[in-house]
Structure 1
Amino acid sequence: INSEKTQIARLEHLKKLKSDKELEHLARNHKLEINLEEARKEWLQTLGPNHKKQIAEHYGIYEHLYGEGYFVPHVNLDIHYDLKNGLNLPVYTGNVIKPAEAGEQPSVAYESDDNVLWTLVLTSLDGHLTENDKEYVHWLVANIPSNNIEKGDTIVEYLRPFPLKGTGYHRYVFVLYKQTEKISYNLKNVTSSSPLEDRTFVTRDWYQKHQDSITPSGLAFYQSDWDYTVKDFFHNILNRKEPVYEYDFAPPYIRPQEWFPLRKPFNLYMDKYRDPKQIKKEYLLRKLKNEDPFKAPPPPLKFPNAQSLPQSMPSWLKLHEKKIRLGWGRINDV
């Protein structure tokens, strides 16, 4: 009934705007201005929660948090990271934030009544080092009175994101839970110096255990991929080697080798049947052989191929030498 009344009121408001001659005059003369802040507030109160739910479903947030469960985030989370240049970086629904930008604990704001308790959880859905079906909890604050995060019980201190090199984008999800009473979660307190294993977390199991006392109400998430600060984090904070991954592509189909391949460059044809890593290693060694760390590199020639090659040189080798002189081809891979 309330939704029908709201829909009728919106239709009447739209009819009123369409019949406003002053607005039509401003629009025709390209002078009509829209207050984006008011438009966003209206969106958050009407279609915003359902749009956020659809975006979260697209990114697989609900599936990997709760399995088949989901919720509509009616409480808007205003989250941002403060940068060193005085600016702040907001968290929306899937925007990209680099690990270097999320090094410090973010600021979180939301609207709340005075007598309500909340729990805020930040968890990483991807990138657990030992168990694929587990998460790392990066931040957990319970029994937050109203919207005063500082007065809540910090069970897990904030930990910056550390997406592993070669694993693409990782999802970091903020979920705000509304409590019916003060809760003792019986979780081990985790500080910034605690082992990484203490942060192993499964949202689905944790929520099923406390679902009678908490209700998910707010949602925001961002994506992050590797940058140079992750290596420093592993070496200096976790005191361990940084794992590096590379995607294992399916090997391309290569037809059986022939004794006399016609019209195919000798070197390129033979390299098809060699290990690509070995080929790159040979090119790197060849390049380093002519490098001197105490001398500047020689200036490039104006006409690299002005000097002719011997007539007795095979055609495939001529083409190979010309490409090396011009800096073309595989030499750029190293």
Structure 2
Amino acid sequence: MNIASKTLLITGIDNFIGLRAAELALERGLKVRGLQTSGKREKNTTNLDADLLIGNITDVNIAQKACQGVDIVFHAEQLSEESGDINKFREINVVGTLNMAKAAKDAGVKIFVHLSSVLVYGFNYPNQVTESGLLSGENNPYCQTKIEAESALLKLNSPPDFNIIIIRAGDVYGPGSIPWVVRPLLLMRQNFFAYANDGKGVSNHLYIDNLIEALFLAVEKEPSGEIFNITDGQETSWKEYFAHLAAIEGLATFMSLPKDELKLLLQVRRQGQKLLRKKADILPESLDFITRPYAYSITKAKTILGYQPKIDLKEGMLRTHEWLKKTDIQELI
């Protein structure tokens, strides 16, 4: 599809990924409409030249209204916490996703790009796992509901009129990233950060602009019904990734603890915060996310989409550092 002058709907436009997608889409000449859940976060989108709607993706009427006159949908709204009630995850990640896709199909939208995650493979998977690899919910609500959403969406795919494309994103970092920039930095500043298992394993980092570039490539190529792993394509250890993050703020290196021991400490911390009626700043389950062992293959994206990640970890961290110098990240939590 030639995207010039097309209308793009972005769900979750006020969130980290949705906001950057909107900015880059506008630079490319697309007309942008955004759907955001809460009006309280409107300041994120104040300067966007976009048509903004406020409402929940589970609302049938809102979904229908948002999709009218739209050519492309980028569905970025999701519940992406490390743990919690699976029914809440399912309501947003599955029911809400299907609601938006059905509304898009009924409205005549041509392309529906769904933001999924490499976490559909679970926490233990073979090295260079491809899109045809075994999926595993790992008894984790995020992993499980992202799997369910993909399966349900693909049943709606009906080319050439309605084309579903699924992007399994890696660990998306950059300005505004809560899990991979803000939260670990806040823990580092409190001297409460430690490597699990000496930071072994592979961080499949993905700079935000590389992700959005893959999105545009998918829209232009229109590979209907296809799924793509998208990362920066670098095999960076978890220790190296977090060392890069610490270095941009001049923070010291950190100690390492066995994963099980560190998980126990986080359980104690969570109980203490619960007694003080504070929201837990890090969950024990997060360690499963930062001890994944291997890299994911992005060969399919390179071959079919022509995807080549342009921003490496060094450049991505430099850009993140510039953002950090003018941002109070404490306010983002």
TM-score, scaled to structure 2: 0.24
TM-score, scaled to structure 1: 0.24
More helix by share: 2
**Higher CA-based Rg:** 1
